Amino acid sequence: MTPATSLLSPADVDAIWLTLKLAGTTTVLLLLLGTPLAWWLAHSRARWRGVINALVALPLILPPTVLGFYLLVAMGPDGPIGRFTAAAGLHALPFTFAGLVLGSLIYSLPFVVQPIRDAFIAIGPRPREVAATLGARPLDAFFSVILPLARPGFLTATVLGFAHTVGEFGVVLMIGGNIPQETRVVAIQIYDHVEALEYTQAHWLAGGMLLFSFVVLLALHLLNDRRAQA
Partner 1 sequence: MLRRCRSLIAVALLATMPAAFAGELTVAVAANFARPVEVMAPVFTAATGHQLRISTGSTGKFYAQIQRGAPFDVFLSADEARPALLETEGRIVPGSRFVYSVGRLALWHATPGRTLTPDTLRADIAGRVAIANPKIAPYGAAAAAAIAHLGLTDALGPRLVHGENIAQTFQFVATGNAAFGFVAWSQVSENGAVVRGSAWLVPPDMHPPIRQSAVLLRHGADNPAAVAFMTFLKSDAARQIIRQHGYDVE
For residues 75 and 94, give the distance between their C-alpha atoms in angstroms, rounded to a whole number: 6
Nearer to partner 1, 84 or 143 (CB): 84
Closest separation in Å from C-beta 107 to partner 1 = 18
Task: Pick one of 77, 80, 124, 138: the residue that binds partner 1 (CB under 8 A).
Answer: 77
Radius of gyration over alpha carbons of the chain, in Å?
Answer: 20
For residues 220 and 92, give the distance between their C-alpha atoms in angstroms, rounded to a whole number: 37
Nearer to partner 1, 33 or 194 (CB): 194
Closest separation in Å from C-beta 177 to partner 1 = 3
For residues 54 and 184, give the distance between their C-alpha atoms in angstroms, rounded to a whole number: 31
Alpha carbons within 13 A on the beta-carbon side of 156 = 17
Q: Which residues contact 153 (CB under 8 A, 6 or more apart)?
A: 115, 116, 118, 119, 120, 122
72 binds partner 1 (CB under 8 A): yes
78 binds partner 1 (CB under 8 A): yes
Dihedral angle at the C-alpha atoms of 160, 164, 167, 170, nearest 10 degrees? 170
95 binds partner 1 (CB under 8 A): yes
* Cβ neighbours around 201 below 10 Å, total: 23
Nearer to partner 1, 128 or 193 (CB): 193
Task: Pick one of 163, 174, 186, 190: the residue that binds partner 1 (CB under 8 A).
Answer: 174
155 binds partner 1 (CB under 8 A): no
Closest separation in Å from C-beta 60 to partner 1 = 24
207 binds partner 1 (CB under 8 A): no
Name residues contacting partner 1, limited to 130-149 (CB under 8 A): none
For residues 16 and 80, give the distance between their C-alpha atoms in angstroms, rounded to a whole number: 32
Nearer to partner 1, 169 or 212 (CB): 169
Nearer to partner 1, 59 or 82 (CB): 82
Q: Residue 189 phi/psi, 5° resolution?
A: -60, -40
Three-state SS for 18? helix
Task: Pick one of 8, 31, 33, 73: the residue that binds partner 1 (CB under 8 A).
Answer: 73
Nearer to partner 1, 7 or 196 (CB): 196
CA 23 to chain centre: 6
33 in Cβ contact with 108 (< 8 Å): no
List residues binding partner 1 (CB under 8 A).
Answer: 69, 72-73, 75-78, 82, 92, 94-95, 173-174, 177-179, 191-192, 194-197
